[in-house]
Amino acid sequence: MGRPRGGDPMTRWAGPWPTDGIAYGADYNPEQWPEEVWADDVALMRQAGVNLVSLGIFSWGQLEPEEGRFEFGWLDRIVDLLHEAGIGVDLATPSAAPPVWLHLAHPEMLPVDADGLRYTHGSRESWCVSSPVIREHATRIARVVAERYGHHPAVRMWHVSNEFACHNGRCYCDVSAAAFRDWLAARYADIDALNLAWGTAFWGQRYASFEQVLPPRRTTTISNPGQTLDFDRFSSDAFVDHLEAEAAVLREVTPHLPVTTNYMVMGDFHQIDYTTTTPLLDIVSNDHYLKADDPRGWAELAFSADRLRGLAGGDPWLLMEHSTSAVNWQPRNLAKEPGEMLRNSLQHVARGADGVLFFQWRQSRAGAEKYHSGMVPHAGADSDRFREVVGLGATLGRLAEVRGSVVEKARVALLWDTQAWWATDLEAHPTVDLHYLDLARRLHGALLDAGVVVDVLPATSDLDGYDVVLVPTLYLAPTDLSDRLAAVVAHGGHVLVSYFSGIVDESDRVLLGGYPGAFRDLLGVRVEEFAPLRENGTVRLSDGATGEVWTERFTAADAEVLATYTDGPAAGGPAITRRTVDGGGAAWYLSTRLDGPALAALVGRVVDAAGVAPVVEQPGGLEVVRRTGESGRWLFALNHTDADLPLQAVGVDLVGGGTHGRGDLVPARGVVVLREGA
Ligand code: GAL
Q: Whose Cα sits closest to atom 9 in ligand 1?
A: 359
Among 623, 655, 616, smallest CA distance to 637 is for 623
Ligand 1 nearest-atom number relative to CA 264 = 7
Interior angle at CA 67, CA 62 and CA 362, nearest 5: 10
620: confidence class by pLDDT, cuts 50, 70, 90: confident
Nearest CA to ligand 1 atom 11: 359
Domain of 639: which CATH number?
2.60.40.1180
Total domains in the fold of the chain:
3
Where does the pLDDT of residue 13 fall: very low under 50, low under 70, confident under 90, or very high at 90 and above?
confident
Q: Whose CA is nearest to atom 3 of ligand 1?
A: 359
Cβ within 8 Å of residue 560, ≥6 positions away = 577, 578, 579, 580
H/E stretch holding 599: helix 596-609
Structural domain includes residue 40: yes
**What would the mean pLDDT of 213-233 be, rounded to a whole number?**
98
Is 80 exceeded by the pLDDT of residue 5?
A: no
Per-residue DSSP letter, 369? T
Q: What is the pLDDT of residue 11?
A: 53
CA of 621 to the centre of ligand 1 (A): 30
Clarify whether residues 132 and 260 are in a common domain. Answer: yes
- Do 395 and 423 sit in the same domain of this protein? no
Domain housing 641? 622-676
Query: Using 50, 70 and 90 to split pLDDT, how confident is the model at 582?
Result: very high
Evaluate whether residue 563 is within a structural domain: yes
Q: Residue 49 domain-assigned?
A: yes
Q: Which residues have C-beta within 8 Å of that of residue 479, sequence separation ≥ 6?
A: 505, 506, 518
Q: How far is the CA of 359 from the centre of ligand 1 (A)?
A: 6
Ligand 1 atom index nearest CA of 162: 8
Instruction: Compute the distance between CA of residue 678 and CA of residue 651 in angstroms, rounded to an integer.
Output: 7
Residue 290 placed within a domain: yes
427 and 384 share one domain: no
Residues 581 and 643 in one domain: no
Compute the distance from residue 375 Cα to the ligand 1 centre, in Å: 14
Protein residues whose CB sits closer than 6 Å to any atom of ligand 1: 162-163, 166, 287, 289, 321, 327, 359, 369, 372
532 and 661 inside one domain = no
Query: Using CA positions, which residue lies closest to atom 2 of ligand 1?
Result: 163
C-alpha to C-alpha distance for 408 and 419, rounded to whole angstroms:
28
pLDDT tens-digit map of 331-379: 999 999 999 999 999 999 999 999 999 999 999 999 999 999 999 999 9
Q: For residue 323, which atom of ligand 1 is closest to its CA?
A: 12
Q: Are residues 566 and 637 in the same domain?
A: no
Domain edge (last residue) among 588, 609, 630: 609
Q: Among 364, 379, 401, give the residue marking a domain's end.
A: 401
Question: Residue 203 domain-assigned?
Answer: no
Q: How far is the CA of 28 from the centre of ligand 1 (A)?
A: 12
| Atom number, ligand 1, closest to the C-alpha of residue 262 | 8
- Letter for the amino acid at 145? V
How many angstroms separate the alpha carbon of residue 323 from the centre of ligand 1?
Answer: 9
At 42, which CATH number? 3.20.20.80
For residue 604, is it within any domain? yes
Cα separation, 370 vs 524, in Å, equals 57
Give the model's pLDDT for residue 619.
84
If you measure from the C-alpha of residue 328 to the centroid of ligand 1, how many angstroms do you get, rounded to a whole number?
10
The minimum-distance atom of ligand 1 relative to the CA of 327 is 12
- The pLDDT of 13-24, averaged and rounded, is 94
Atom of ligand 1 nearest to the CA of 58: 9
pLDDT at position 247: 98
pLDDT at 95: 98
Residue 15 lies in a domain: no
Nearest Cα residue to atom 5 of ligand 1: 359
Site to probe by mutation for ligand 1, drawn from 95, 325, 369 as the one with most ligand atoms within 8 Å of Cβ, is 369
Based on the domain organization, do 436 and 539 belong to the same domain? yes
Clarify whether residues 153 and 28 are in a common domain: yes
Which residues face 42 on adjacent strands? Answer: none
The answer to the question of residue 16 being in a domain is: no
Pocket test for ligand 1, best of 125, 318, 321 (most atoms within 8 A of CB): 321
Tell whether 33 and 159 lie within a shared domain.
yes
CA–CA distance, 600 with 192 (Å, rounded to integer): 48
Decide which of 401, 433, 448 is a domain's last residue: 401
Indicate whether 87 and 126 sit together in one domain: yes
Neighbours of 513 (CB within 10 A): 8
CATH number for 512: 3.40.50.880
Model confidence at 618, pLDDT cuts 50, 70, 90, reads confident
Q: Are 328 and 371 in contact (CB under 8 A)?
A: yes
Q: 267-323, pLDDT tens digit by residue?
A: 999 999 999 999 999 999 999 999 988 999 999 999 999 999 999 999 999 999 999
Considering the chain, what is the average pLDDT of its residues? 97
Please tell me whether residues 471 and 516 are part of one structural domain: yes
- Using only the alpha carbons of the chain, give its radius of gyration: 26
Q: Are 92 and 135 members of one domain?
A: yes
Instruction: Please state the atom number of ligand 1 nearest to the C-alpha of residue 289.
Output: 12
Query: How many angstroms separate the alpha carbon of residue 264 from the centre of ligand 1?
Result: 10
327 C-alpha to ligand 1 centroid (Å): 9
> Catalytic site residues?
163, 321
640 alpha carbon to ligand 1 midpoint, in Å? 26
Q: What DSSP element (H or E) covers 62?
A: helix 60-63
Most informative mutation of 124, 160, 163 for ligand 1 (most atoms within 8 A of CB): 163
